[in-house]
Amino acid sequence: MGLVVPPSVQRKAGIQLGDRLQFRASSGAITITPTRPPTYNPTKAELTAIRKGEAAIARGESVSLTDFLHRVDRNRRKAGTKTNRKVSR
């Protein structure tokens, strides 16, 4: 079963193709509103990495995807070993 919303109603409501819709029913009325996915806000560390990467690209530097993934994996492993170390007292 599907619901067909006329294009003129979609435009007035700001509904675009692919939007998720929320349905609310109360006292004989159904309210349909588009729900937008939450926007992603990068962390300060991610923003710093992005800026460094953009600067490197502007300088003409590049890294292969294989090297990039290797570095990411290596950094994850390093972070994991630091958090799992036991401290002797």
Q: List, for residues 8-50, the tens digit of each pLDDT value.
A: 988 998 888 888 888 999 999 999 888 877 788 889 988 898 8
User: pLDDT band for position 81 (50/70/90)?
Assistant: low
pLDDT at 58 over 60: yes
Residue whose structure tokens are 């929320």: 22
**Alpha carbon distances (Å) from 16 to 5, 35, 66:** 11, 11, 38
Spell out the residues 6+ positions from residue 10 whose beta carbon is closer than 8 angstroms to its own.
16
Mean pLDDT of the chain: 83
Burial, 61: exposed, middle or buried (Cβ in 10 Å; 0-12, 13-18, 19+)? exposed
pTM of the entire predicted model = 0.37
| Token output for 74 | 């290596």
Q: Is the dihedral of CA 53, 58, 61, 63 positive or negative?
A: positive
Percent of the chain with pLDDT over 70: 88
Grouping H, G, I as helix, E, B as strand and the rest as coil, residue 34 is strand
